[in-house]
Amino acid sequence: MELRRTSTAGPSQWEGRLADGRSLYIRFRHDELSVHVGPIGGNVDAAVAALPWLDLDLSSKEWDGLIEIDDVLAVSGLTLSSALKANRDQL
């Protein structure tokens, strides 16, 4: 699995690839957290175009327009692989 933060300002977003080769896109904007998963071998554009795998309204929380990866994991139930945990400071 790979994951990298592509924006530190609003929207907060990450792009990556799951262990099985599917593309991944995570975005937080206007209190909406969405996780999109594309096809195996697809690029990030394919993940962005895919229907959300997860779509959460976090407007009852105080995120101030930005979210960190630890908060994404906490509210979504997703986990990082051990390799990504080792490089957490880059996320």
Average pLDDT on 40-63 reads: 90
| Residue boundaries of the structural domains of the chain | 2-86
Contact 36, 53 (CB under 8 A): yes
Q: What is the mean pLDDT of residues 55-83?
A: 83
Asked if residue 39 has a cis previous peptide bond (ω within 30° of 0), the answer is no
Q: What is the pLDDT of residue 35?
A: 95
pTM: predicted TM-score of the whole model, two decimal places: 0.88
Percent of the chain with pLDDT over 70: 92
Round to whole Å and give the CA distance between 24 and 30. Answer: 20
